[in-house]
Amino acid sequence: MAAQLILNEPDMKKTLFFTACCLLMALGVSAQIPALERVEPMFWWVGMSNPNLQLIVHGNNIASANVQLNYPGVKLIAVHKVENPNYLFVDLHIFSSASPGTFPINFSKAGEKTLTYRYTLKKRDKSPVRAQGVTNRDLIYLIMPDRFSNGDLKNDSVTGMRETAVDRSKMFSRHGGDLKGIMDHLDYLKDLGVTAVWLTPAVENDEPQASYHGYAITDHYKIDPRYGSNELYKQFVDKCHAMGLKVVMDLVHNHAGTEGYTLQDMPMKSWVHQWPKYTKSNFRDAAVMDPHASLSDRKQMLDGWFDHRMADMNENNPYLQNFLTQNHIWWVEYSGVDGFRLDTYPYNDPAYMADWAKKVRTEFPHLSIFGETLVWSAANQAFFTEGNTVNRGLDTHLPGVTDGVLKEAIYDALNAKEGTEGVNRLYSVLAQDFLYQDAAKNTIFLDNHDMSRFLSVVGEDITKYKSGMAMLMTMRGVPQMYYGDEILMKNYSNPDGLVREDFPGGWPGDKDNKFTAAGRSKKENDAFNYVRTLANYRKNTPALQTGKMMQYIPEDGVYLYFRYDKQKTVMVVYNSREQDQSITTERYSERINGTLKARNVITDDVVELSKLTIPKKATLVLELLPNNTH
């Protein structure tokens, strides 16, 4: 039966093209493509923990070629032919004795000129600032590159790509932001108190429309030329490291853009999940963990497509597994990124993702990994984390997740009335941290590129905004903020484009430049300075990074918790009610431990601890002072 790539697009020409490609593949007829189009990974390194490497070779009827190589320390183990004659999968073993260098891999056919690919093995870079990990000592700043800053006008439109228009007036068009624009504003991030930068995927998305978001990858080994180049991405990482900033790379295992070469000319029909007709995922993560779930529900959750233009990759296919895993290892070794954020984690094959995590962490022991799990209970989140802590029967080897449950609890604390919801829900969610092997590895956040902006969710109430930011900067976990939150960017994700607006000042000719204090309004500067004060205080306060946390059951709408280590104790007090409240602090003596005074981290005022007044919906961040302080 012919391989069937299901697009269900209205464009009949495209449908016919895909059908023709699939029929040719099934019949063993080669598509008319260059004789040797690519070899991936295009180069590798000596001294990797895993000595085995599988090359994917794509070229016109390349399966009819004999493969030969001769290089000390490298052995050709196997050559795999698959359904599509335009592919070979070549297994190499790279011994520890192999030296860096370049050697020919020859593809010979009887009566034809030999095709040669000169393969390079490089020396690994063992610099300690590479792949160093992003931890609870950090503050992550999430950027959508197309919408942050345009530093190079020359790459706005790239000839030959399917989407060449740049139109900032349209939310689904490309706007021209790029790597150079981000690099131009690293000083801004450093001043803000950011220590790590997470970019939505910067690899090529050569789709005909709405390609700006980055999650429809068409070339896993190539930075999108509208952002820059592979070399520029490496320079971006190097510059971040030189400035004391880390970099998180966004990975997409589950799906890929339909215009990529492995989708246009599939190696085999099992490269993607096939359905008799287009079938979208049911997006119900419970089907993965429900012991009573039907097989059909679980299959649709895991194997259904994300979108017509985002094919669901078959992670049970061993060739695809090698392709993805090696690609991700390649990017770390090539660029030195410090962590991975894994897109749509629950939709991936569990066994493969566990194996992937083990292999990546073996190569890079300090690299941090967190998975996107937008689920609705702490138990659901813990299900995906390492350690088999909820009797899953599988250790995922995933250190942390995006803590959407804590986000929703913070929203409840800020917006909902008391009862089982409101501030009590926040307490209850944190009380369930026993479910995780280490909840401090979870990434905590208030919003991101897929959801309504925090300021809008709290009704543009600045007091609530500041309270949420205070919680973000002082709770357990790895805090992450979304670009522009610090300057009060707003909007609801209806549609998503409304929360992906351009950062004002990132484009030549912008009316306002909010990267500078002079370009911000008084209200925006107040918010910026509040966030900057907290972020920089956190950066210099280990108790807020790696210290323990102790919380107290909310009482009269007041929620109080401590972060502390042997050197310092920070007390955080939130008043969830709509009126100012005064409290006495005898109840909290276990942690106050006789301390008489504290310093307000925001105002620098010294306050008496015996009785505190907290304005309505406000949060106080107080550093306890030694009793000999005057």
Token output for 555: 């009482």
Query: Which DSSP helix (H) or strand (E) runs through 55?
Result: strand 52-58
Q: In sequence order, what are the beta bridge partners of 600?
A: 622
Find all residues with CB under 8 Å of 566, minimum gap 6, and list them: none
Cβ-contact 204, 223 below 8 angstroms: yes
Do the Cβ atoms of 386 and 399 come closer than 8 Å? yes
Q: Is residue 522 packed enough to be buried (19+ CB in 10 Å), middle (13-18) or exposed (0-12)?
A: exposed
| Tokens standing for residue 179 | 């790597």
Q: Which CATH fold would you assign to the domain 548-624?
A: Immunoglobulin-like (2.60.40)
Cβ-contact 105, 69 below 8 angstroms: yes
Model confidence at 417, pLDDT cuts 50, 70, 90, reads confident
Mean pLDDT along residues 282-287: 94
3 state SS for 236-275: HHHHHHHCCCEEEEEECCCEEECCCHHHHCCCCHHHECCC
pLDDT in tens, 236-278: 999 999 999 999 999 999 999 999 999 999 999 999 999 999 9
CB 126 within 8 A of CB 481: no
Q: Where on the phi/psi map is residue 157: left (φ > 0), alpha (ψ -120 to 50), or beta?
A: beta
Establish whether 372 is a catalytic residue.
yes
Which residues of 109-245 form beta strands (DSSP E)?
Answer: 115-122, 140-143, 196-199, 203-204, 219-223
8 Å CB contact between 572 and 619:
yes
Residue 628: predicted pLDDT = 78
Residue in the structure block whose two tokens are 């980055």: 214
Residue 17 pLDDT level (bands cut at 50, 70, 90): very low
Is the pLDDT at 42 greater than 90, yes or no? yes
CATH 2.60.40.10 residue ranges of the chain are 31-122
Q: Which residue of the set 343, 349, 433, 486 is catalytic?
A: 343
Active-site residue 343, yes or no?
yes
Residue position matching structure tokens 């569990």: 350
Rounded Cα distance, 485 and 490, in Å: 8
Question: Token pair of 294, please?
Answer: 């039907």
Whose CA is closest to 471, among 523, 524, 525, 427? 427
The residue from 138, 206, 259, 372 that is catalytic is: 372
The full 3-state SS of 89-134, as one line of letters, equals EEEEEECCCCCCEEEEEEEECCCCCCEEEEEEEECCCCCCCCCCCC
The whole-angstrom separation of Cα 124 and Cα 363 is 11
570-585, pLDDT tens digit by residue?
999 999 999 999 999 9
Report whether 410 contacts 458 (CB < 8 A).
no
Beta pairing, strands 38-40 & 203-204: unpaired
- Percentage of the chain lying above the pLDDT 70 cut: 94
**Dihedral (Cα; 365, 367, 372, 377), 10-degree rounding:** 50
8 A C-beta contact, residue 542 and residue 477: no
Among 610, 566, 615, smallest CA distance to 587 is for: 610
Are 569 and 625 in contact, with CB atoms under 8 Å apart? no
Q: What are 55-94's pLDDT values in tens digits? A: 999 999 999 999 999 999 999 999 999 999 999 999 999 9
Share above pLDDT 90 across residues of the chain, in percent, rounded to a whole number: 91
Q: Are residues 212 and 146 in contact, defined by beta-carbon separation less than 8 angstroms?
A: yes
Check residue 630 and give its pLDDT. Answer: 54
Residue 272 contacts residue 313 (beta carbons within 8 Å): yes
Calculate the average pLDDT of the chain. 93
- Mapped onto helix, strand or coil, the DSSP state of residue 184 is coil
Cα separation, 168 vs 54, in Å, equals 42
User: What value does the mean pLDDT take over residues 456-467?
Assistant: 98
Q: What's residue 629's pLDDT?
A: 63
Which amino acid is residue 606, in one-letter code?
A: V
Start-to-end CA distance of the chain, whole Å, equals 83
Residues 143-167: pLDDT tens digits?
A: 999 999 999 999 999 999 999 999 9
Per-residue pLDDT band for 29 (boundaries 50, 70, 90) equals very low
Q: Among 23-27, 313-317, 567-571, which stretch is predicted with the lowest mean pLDDT?
A: 23-27
In the chain, the amino acid numbered 327 is N
What pLDDT shows up at residue 35? Answer: 72
- Contact between 237 and 181 under an 8 Å Cβ cutoff? The reply is no
DSSP state of 154: G
The whole-number pLDDT of residue 110 equals 86
| Residue ranges matching CATH 2.60.40.1180 in the chain | 548-624
Q: What one-letter code names the amino acid at 537? A: Y
Q: What is the pLDDT of residues 103-120, one digit of tens each?
A: 999 999 888 889 999 999
Q: Is 156 exposed, middle or buried (0-12, 13-18, 19+ CB in 10 A)?
A: middle
* Euclidean distance between CA atoms 79 and 320, whole angstroms: 16
CB-based contacts of 272: which residues, under 8 Å, 6+ apart?
A: 5, 263, 266, 311, 312, 313, 314
> In CATH, what is the architecture of 31-122?
Sandwich (2.60)
pLDDT tens track for 205-226:
999 998 899 999 999 999 999 9
Query: What is the C-alpha to C-alpha distance for residues 64 and 58, in angstroms, rounded to an integer?
Result: 12
Strand partners, 310: 257, 307
